[in-house]
Amino acid sequence: MSWDDVTHVQASPSGTAKVAPKRDQAYLIILAGSSMGEMHKIGRDKTVIGRGQKADIRIVDEGISRDHCEVLIEGDKIILHDLGSTNGTFCRGLRVDRHELEDGDKILVGSGTVLKFTYHDKLDEVFQRQMYESALRDDLTKAFNKKYYMDRVESEYAYAVRHNLPLALVTFDIDHFKVINDTYGHPGGDYVLSELSSTVIASIRVEDVFARVGGEEFSIVCRGADLVQAQIVGERLRSGVANRQFVFDGKTIAVTISVGVAAVPNGAIRDAMEFIAAADQVLYEAKRGGRNRVCIWRK
């Protein structure tokens, strides 16, 4: 047997015994619901869960109250406390008012949102976030994937209609993307997709959902935005992309986008699929009308 065939184990220097990371940081991980996979660190004395604008963990779910429940840090204990919610807070299958949480406890709020309470160390946190990112985001652009987008449109649309709140879709497509691929190759096309996505992510709100819904087609779910506000978002994106320099392999690539905007409430839109179709329809109107423009769905 040669030296290269032998695996050698090197002992740690004396007095430097390895210490396992301490799992002492509390987290809530959303296991089911519109925000599935999200991970929230419990780092303050009180963390409110609800659908209201001021909730620390905001969840869109029909059965969740504005301020539904809270997680309290009391000494070395972590307490789940219901805040008088309409449909109740459940843990271990039982409705609770005040409950001391233990590692692994499952919490049910609303019609189908399940959270898991757990303790993690730093490595656990990094791993969990990587799993979340890989499951819900597109590798190249870091935008959410189509499945996540469809789920969010369904839940956001139902919530907006039920509470008569504005909601908009800003859908856009890269103009002449096939020409970009043919001219600069797929590496050039990938560069454009990645850089464009970075530009968009930097210009939208944290609560907006930015997703890649096709090869070169993207959409943004804008909670609380009416048609006028969404049109402003669309125009800002269009002009931002048109005025940005995309330089690949020393060559400048001209990039523009066509944008379609739809918003609810709107009596002509009856469900989430019609909502998506409305934004798509005016997107293609923008492309047929000469590209590098924003079209609005006004029926």
Are the C-beta atoms of residues 166 and 225 closer than 8 Å to each other?
yes
| Distance (Å) of CA 180 to CA 17, 244, 251 | 56, 16, 12
Active-site choice (70, 156, 195, 216): 216
Are the C-beta atoms of residues 144 and 137 closer than 8 Å to each other?
yes
Is 216 a known active-site residue? yes
| Distance (Å) of CA 201 to CA 36, 37, 142, 184, 208 | 20, 20, 9, 24, 9
Are the C-beta atoms of residues 96 and 89 closer than 8 Å to each other?
yes
Provide the annotated active-site residues: 216
